[in-house]
Every structure is written in C-alpha cells, then in structure tokens.
Amino acid sequence: MEAEMGDSITRDLSDEVDLKSWRSIKESLDSFLVILPTVLGFILSRLCGHLPLLSTRRFLLEFFLIGLPTVILVTVGSAFSHSYSLVVSLAAVGYIYKRIPPKTTNFKYEVGKRPRVFTLLRATAYSGTCAAILAVDFPSFPFDYRKSRTFGASLMDMGIGLFVVTMGLVSHRTRTTADLKKLKRSVLPLLVLGLARTVVIAAIDYHQDETEYGKHLNAFFILGFTKLLGSFYSLLVKTDEQLLGLSLGLLFLHELVLQLGLSDFVMSSAPHDGFFSANREGLSSLHGCVALYLLSIYFAKWYTSQDHLSYQGLIIKLRKILFVAVLCWLLTFTSAHLTGIARVTFSFGYVIWIFAVCLSLIVIFAYFFELQLVRADFSNRKSSGDDKDKSLPLPTFVESLNTNGLTHFMLSNFLTGMVNMSLDPGHRNDFESVSILSVYMFVCSGAVFIMLKKGVRLA
C-alpha cells in the first residue's frame, strides 16, 4: 500500500512487469487477497466483540485479531496469507449460518449518509498503509509487494488509489462557486502537510524515491490537488448522476493522452530536471486521480440515495454492486494487456483495478456487517420486545481509525522515520522485524484508541 517514508520501496526497473504480461493480472488478484486478513480481522472483532465498546480489554482483543495477523502475514507469514484467509472466511461464514436465523427478512436497513461499509473501507486503507510503510523497510517484506516503477499492480501500488476513493466517498459535488470557499478546510491542510514533508525531507537529507510522485511532490500534494481539481470539474455538471459521465469521460481522455506519448515520457529514464520533468510522475497522474475521485463521489451518492432499504432492496443493491465489480475486474484483466496497469500515471487500468478492489471490499463488508449481522441484531431485539431502530456498533479499532484517521496516518509516518533512522530495519532478522512492527502498530492504533476514549477528535 502507500508509503510516504522509507528506503527502497520500489522495485528495480529490471524487475518490472512487461506492458503485456500475465504477471500484472496475477499481481492484481494477489494484492487484493493480501489485504483480506485485515478485513477478516474486522469481521472477527465484530463476531467476538461482546466486551464494552471503549474498554481496554476490547481494544487488546481487537489488536490481537487485526493488528498482529496483519503484521505477520505481510512479513514472515506471507506464504500462509491465502490459507489463513480461506480458513477464517469459512469459519466466519459457518458461524453466521449456524447462529443467525435464516428467515428474518422484514427489517429495514438504515443506510445513512456515511454507511458502515465506507467506514470499514477507510479503516482498511489506514490500517494496511500503517503496516506497509514500515514493513517495506524490513528484509522479511516480500519483494513482490513493493511499488512498481512503471507497470504493475502490487500491494503497495494500492495505497494512493484507496485514499482517493475513501476521500471521494465522503465528499460532495461542488454545486456553486460559493462552495469553493469551503475547500480551504479540507484542501489547505493537505497542501500544508505536503509542503511540510517536502521541507523536512530536504532539511534532514532523507532519501526519497523520485519515481513515486516526483522530486517535490508527495501523496499529500496529490490528494490535495485531486480534491481541488475535482471540485472545479464538478461545476461542469448539474446533478450527481452526471458525475458518472464526467468521470468516465475524463478517464478516457487521460488515457488517450498517456497513449499519445505522456506515459513513455513519465516512465523514461530522463533526468528529473526542471519543475515539470522533475515532478512528471505526480503531475501526470492528477487527472486519473480526479476521475477516480469523481467516480467515488458518484458511487457514494448512488449508494446513499435511499435512507432505508428493505431486506430485498439491500439484496438487489448488492447484486448490482457485485455485477459492476466483476465487470471492473474483467476490464482490469483486459487493460493489463492493452494499456497496462500503472499507478505512476493513474492509467485507465489502474483506476478500474482500484475501483474493482473497493467494490469487492464493499460487497464483503455489506454481506457481513449489513446483511447478516444487522439482521441478527434485528432478530435478537425483536425476540426481546425491543423494536427500536438502533445502529449496530463497529469494532473499536475501526471507530478509532475513522475518528482520527489522518492523525493515525501522520503518527505512523513519523514513527516510520524514527525507526528508519534509529533501528536500522534493513538488517533485522524475522523475530526482530515482527517485534518492532507489532510495537509500532500497537502504538499507532493505541494512540487513536485513547483519543476516541477521551472524546478527542483532531483529523
């Protein structure tokens, strides 16, 4: 996933996948499967979480179910990641079918403006990113998980795409020029963080791979410019429904420009001289980012178009999402051979791949947290005579990340830099790697848990 600090986070050019290669197809599927242990950790936490929501014991249990498997399965246990996911998935489904009444279909599912599935997707991005940005500096982190310099769909290639999607899911279409004034609350902090990171990196002479976003740009700048440009472009449409056409049209134009020569220039070995050439990776990806951002806003508005859904209505909606997810996966596989999947330029193949991953995760989260667990909660309340509409709580781990996600991300970046400068992660054995990563994950997640418990919300 996304890395903001650390050495050697990308693969050498000699190890890059070819434009027309089955390897990028395999990578796109493997990368999705690698993040499933974190997703399953959320599910297990909900199934096993009968302790009080803000209790320390519950947090420790959830860290054991989420944090530790994530650390182990992206490092020393990577060879067993798929087996773990299969066993836990079968166990979770078996538990649900054994414990949940099969015929409770007369309940109303509350969608809300910020559905649980969006919160869970955001927590997945933050948790996975936190683990990956430090794990990549240890020898136990699989080489194939590192970012691609040109074409590819590795685990760490997902990061920036997931953040663009989660940002879009909680954003709104700009309706008037007056709405642009509100952007300073969301765009300015990202640009300030981007500038601060660039200044600090230059001041301490910390290594930065220029082939990620360029010599001066970074993920904060990309997210800030994406939101800014996306807000301006959304003034071109009059309804949320028209965002679909706008985003797809922008994506096709972006890919056309890439195919006309921009992609070759960005991926060339030309020196990073002059502002545009020095930052060609980040600048060339912006319109692809904006297209994905607008597409995510459209999807969020479609998903939340009804405040309540019946059981059958939820089933129909999930079938539609599943159909589009399968279509996006097919387009991803096709793009791998025709135009390539490239994070560095946010190509058509990359955007469709990220959207396929997000839709697939939303279907999984909706199945467990909406379709099954909400139905079970409704049945239990009905049998006890309580017919009030209550919100089903999410794992404390998830709520902590959702409440202070940016704080968690900044803390993980800071600690990653500290570990790199003081503990020499590149020369650690397997036991030391897992130990350091576990403590690091515990501190990051524990900090936002304490903030949640005390009612502190920063960003």
pLDDT of residue 160 exceeding 50, the answer is yes
Distance CA 124, CA 369 (A): 14
Q: What three-state secondary structure class fits 110?
A: strand
Say whether pLDDT at 17 is over 50.
no
d(CA 383, CA 285): 54
The mean pLDDT of 106-125, rounded to a whole number, is 85
| pLDDT, mean over the chain | 86
Mean pLDDT of 268-295: 90
Tell me how far CA of residue 407 lies from CA of 130, 301, 394, in angstroms.
12, 27, 20
Maximum mean pLDDT: which of 100-104, 114-118, 172-176, 251-255: 251-255
One-letter amino acid at 384 equals: S
Distance (Å) of CA 158 to CA 29, 152, 421, 438, 448? 12, 10, 26, 22, 24
Rounded to two decimals, what is the model's pTM? Answer: 0.90
Confidence of residue 18 (pLDDT cuts 50, 70, 90): low
Give pLDDT, residue 377. 61
pLDDT in tens, 116-145: 899 999 999 999 999 999 999 999 999 889
- Which helix (H) or strand (E) is 159 found in, with range? helix 158-169
Q: Which of 396, 393, 424, 433 is nearest to 116 (CA)?
A: 393
- Predicted confidence at residue 6, as pLDDT, reads 39
248-273 confidence digits (pLDDT tens): 999 999 999 999 999 989 988 888 78
Q: Which of 72-76, 309-313, 384-388 has the highest mean pLDDT?
A: 72-76
Residue 390 has pLDDT above 70, yes or no: no
